Amino acid sequence: MHTIILKYSVLMCVAFHSFATELSLNYTADFVNNQSGGISQNSAWVDSLTIAGEHRWRYSQYQVQSRISGIYANGKSISEYVGDVQAVSGLEAGARFARVYEAFVDICRDDTSVLIGIYDINSEFDLLDSANLFVAAAYGMGSTLGLSGGNGPSTFPYTGLSLRLQRQIDDSNTLRIVVSDGLPSDPDSPNSLGLNLSSDEGALLVAEWQHTTNSTKWLSGYWQYTKNTGSKITAGNGKTNRGVYVRTEHTLHSLKNTTVFARFGAADKSFNPFYRFLSAGFVVNGIVPSRADDQLGLAFAYAKNAGTYIDSFEAGMLNEDGELNVEATYLVRVNKHLALQPTLQYVRHPSGADIPNASILGIRFIIDL
């Protein structure tokens, strides 16, 4: 569920020069204040720094891309004051750390590519560009998948070893499958790589079909754990955890390049804090004629509590059917290196618990070099 801005383009089996090297730096910070409601009224500065290097070259009929990146996160949280589960800031990492974030090789021939290494699956799976504008984590990877597993999937803040296969069927259809560590990294040692693979931890399998047209993208995904690693909140009932999701976005060129998007997800009640998830919203690009790169967005994300999630708390603590996040945001492109993004969020029934509805005000700072 937690997302972080990653500055790189996915290899899509296109020709490039014999070799090319690119270095990039991204610093993103959220200053967020819980204005009212929630657990307490307080502020937090949540940030992360990513430094990455990519190298591309051609060998015979193969195009190869390698990437290595390091990340620092300060581990601060605004959700501890709001009381929500879905995370008001997608930069919340749960701990302060500095570690290798990704280190992989992607080998491509014709319409097929194979990637192996430490890999953020949310850089390709369960991803829509329009929804990724928003500051709250639930608009990145949906909450049903993002909060699954004993330590979440292989994505921010904890990534693990993965093997990804991608096949471009034709101009409109792409199939991608990934097998990743079922318990990525080690939250007790957040600075370590956490590459201790174990048969007891199993693997997470995700298969996604992407269909695109000139104005519309559809994503249909299925995910399953091979072992019962429980979840972040409930231990499951001996079965293997699984779920599905459907995402779509459609660009309305007649309405100032407005893009609308939606996502639905479902997961096993026995494992997951939320077993239903629904989000939708829109993004307007260049609403001010003189500022073509600015973006305005409005969206909501609703996660419905699972019965076992409710049963895991003391009687009476959870008395609502789910958590709702509503966010309005405006991204201002100051120049090619700096962007500012005010955000206003409203969280109804944080954690689906008997916690007052919260109003949150914040601003995101983005520096790209």
The pTM of this model reads: 0.89
CATH number at residue 324: 2.40.160.180
Name the residue range of residue 87's domain: 19-368
Question: Is position 341 within any domain?
Answer: yes
Question: Is position 184 within any domain?
Answer: yes
Question: For position 192, what pLDDT does the model report?
Answer: 75
Looking at residues 247-267, what average pLDDT do you find? 92
Question: Is position 178 within any domain?
Answer: yes
Ordered alpha helix ranges (H), the chain: 79-82, 143-146, 307-311
State the DSSP string of 324-354: EEEEEEEEEE-SSSEEEEEEEEEEESGGGSS
Q: Is the torsion defined by CA of 137, 140, 144, 146 positive or negative?
A: negative
What mean pLDDT value characterizes the chain?
Answer: 88
Higher pLDDT, 43 or 16: 43
Q: Which of 202, 196, 266 is nearest to 228 (CA)?
A: 202
Question: Is position 349 within any domain?
Answer: yes
Question: Is position 12 within any domain?
Answer: no
Q: Over the stretch 171-188, which tens digit does the pLDDT of each residue have?
A: 999 999 999 998 887 777
Q: Over the stretch 8-27, which tens digit does the pLDDT of each residue have?
A: 444 456 555 556 789 999 99
Question: For position 9, what pLDDT does the model report?
Answer: 43
Question: Is position 13 within any domain?
Answer: no
Distance separating alpha carbons of residues 49 and 71, to the nearest angstrom: 6
Separation in Å, CA 300 to CA 263, 270, 279, 303, 345: 10, 25, 5, 10, 9
Question: Is position 30 within any domain?
Answer: yes
Question: Is position 303 within any domain?
Answer: yes
Q: Over the stretch 186-237, which tens digit does the pLDDT of each residue have?
A: 777 777 776 777 777 789 999 999 999 989 999 999 999 998 765 444 444 4
Q: How many domains does the chain have?
A: 1
